[in-house]
A and B are shown apart, each in its own frame.
Chain A
């Protein structure tokens, strides 16, 4: 460990930090380990290694449909919320407007209230205007829960570079649209990519709001919730869960890497 000021080393604190890492990761690692266990029971003793629970996933058409639905919902929710947030972040960081804080607070509301309440509020609204629950209602709900996170990501990205670049482009006679396309977008691009990945993960993982807005078409977490009640389907769900954890961890590391690379590049374009 390198020195940070006059404080250099603190072994007890470091040991504690390692202990917390173990606490955070142990349950996830236990799920991963038991997904390879050759037994219908998720219990010790270990009965030997198998991949059969992973193979069981390949023949489950209900699962494939739910996975497809989740991907469709996630991609649309990520694209729409990132576009909305990019425009809004430009407005918030570049223009002085009365009511700015009120608008940002309203849009950020989903981060500030329990998800169950957001879910029922959206449900009551949709029922009151007689909209049938479907994948479309799930997409609307996901756009609403993803946008605050996209907005935070994009605002910090817009704050990270000098508006003089845009002004210079406009002063040199470029139109507003081509300035946005040729100057703004390349500058905020790392933010756009990390916002897309982050919102996709939020949508892909969401259970509670989806639970209220689901009609007959299920997303993956709703499908998993319905399966977790049957003990004979648990091992296959562990295999599915392990795959989700591995894939989303890879995506997350990508988000983090892009974010840091983006921040490193803000000063000089």
Chain B
């Protein structure tokens, strides 16, 4: 990496080296962009190229056909017609959206009070709380989902527990293998992740606003709705997108606890790549879902910005 030896940057002054300066705005070195590209090159060659080609080949494959195990290049819109008109895919797509939106809303509702508590009331034990809450998110996803199958299953922890207490004689079958079981499991899996962006946005709120509002006679409720909530909207937006996008395409949870009525669009896509063996149709369905997810996310971002501008 050729970094030029002559630098027309002022020598570091004492004040900039002082320990007191918090996170300052980064000064960018203007003349050295070639070195910058040099440093970016490895990541672009490995991740950038692979991702770009992966996207391009999926888009191409969605216009192709398949004979046996071989993909045949060509141009047909038949895959897209099938992906949007087949009632099975319409059903799994609609169900994915319904499950994912419900999960997102529930997760935000459950996470917000926790984030609020962490930002305003956790005091000196804040770090401990944060570690306790975020740790489960990074432990095995497969196992956390599986644990709900163990809990909700026909012969699972809840049913066998109630039976040995003599409260029921037959297992409660409504606990598992339905969309509600999927939602319970997804909320559990994503809750720790939702708390972080909410906490960050609440933490940033200047405490003097709240003191001023109190001095001016606002009640705790007014204070929340007029100051805290509007200022936390960016956090709510970030958290909801961070849950909505991955949960729409979740595969593990519907497989484990969804049953036939809880299957989502990812299951359809995986089937098309596996048992059904129609990769072009699978690619088309994947692209249709990502277009829907992206469209909804952009619309949501646009609306939230509008609403928060009006509130401000």
Contact = CB atoms under 8 A, between A and B. Distances in A.
Interface string B234-259: 00000000000110111110001000
A56 interface: no
Contacts of B132: 21
Given A3-B123, A21-B133, A207-B141, A96 B117 contact: no
A92 B35 CA distance: 11
Contacts of B138: 198, 201, 205, 248, 252
A114 B250 contact: yes
Nearest to A128: B57
A30 B121 contact: no
A91 B160 contact: no
Q: Do most interface residues of chain B lie in helix, strand or loop, or is the interface mixed?
A: helix
Contact of B123 (A1, A85, A112, A159): A1
A36 interface: no
A170 B23 contact: no
A118 B50 CA distance: 11
Nearest to B26: A93
Interface stretch (B5-13, B82-90, B174-182, B303-311): B5-13
Given A20-B110, A170-B7, A225-B142, A87 B290 contact: no
Given A27-B151, A88-B43, A170 B48 contact: no
Interface residues of A, number: 105
A160 B23 contact: yes
Contacts of A116: 249-251, 266, 269-270, 286
B142 A221 contact: yes
Contacts of A109: 51
Nearest to B156: A43
Interface residues of B, number: 110
A152 B23 CA distance: 16
A248 B53 CA distance: 33
A117 B282 CA distance: 10
Contact of A103 (B48, B57, B118, B135): B48
Contact of B140 (A95, A115, A163, A245): A245
B55 interface: yes
A224 interface: yes
A71 interface: no
Contacts of B125: 1
B40 A212 contact: no
B75 interface: no
B28 A162 contact: no
Given A21-B133, A95-B32, A120-B58, A90 B39 contact: yes
A119 to B, nearest CB: 9
A28 B137 CA distance: 11
A123 interface: yes
Nearest to B162: A44
Given A17-B114, A121-B55, A87 B23 contact: no
Given A91-B37, A167-B7, A110 B147 contact: no
B23 A110 contact: no
Interface-centre pick from B7, B58, B127 (highest chain A CB count, 10 A): B58
B312 interface: no
B161 A147 contact: no
B14 to A, nearest CB: 10
B233 interface: no
Interface string A72-92: 000000001001110110111
B33 A98 contact: yes
B171 to A, nearest CB: 10
Interface string A114-149: 111110111111011000000000001001100100
A30 B140 contact: no
A21 B124 CA distance: 18
Contacts of A238: 150
A245 B139 contact: yes
A216 to B, nearest CB: 16
Nearest to B37: A97
Contacts of B207: 4-5
A13 B252 CA distance: 33
B47 A144 contact: yes
B159 to A, nearest CB: 8
Interface in B263-298: 266, 269-270, 273, 279, 282-283, 286, 289-290, 293
A86 to B, nearest CB: 9
A11 to B, nearest CB: 9
B286 to A, nearest CB: 5
A13 B144 contact: no
Given A2-B123, A121-B54, A228-B256, 10 more contacts: A5-B210, A10-B117, A13-B121, A17-B118, A42-B150, A91-B39, A107-B47, A125-B58, A237-B146, A260-B127
A53 interface: no
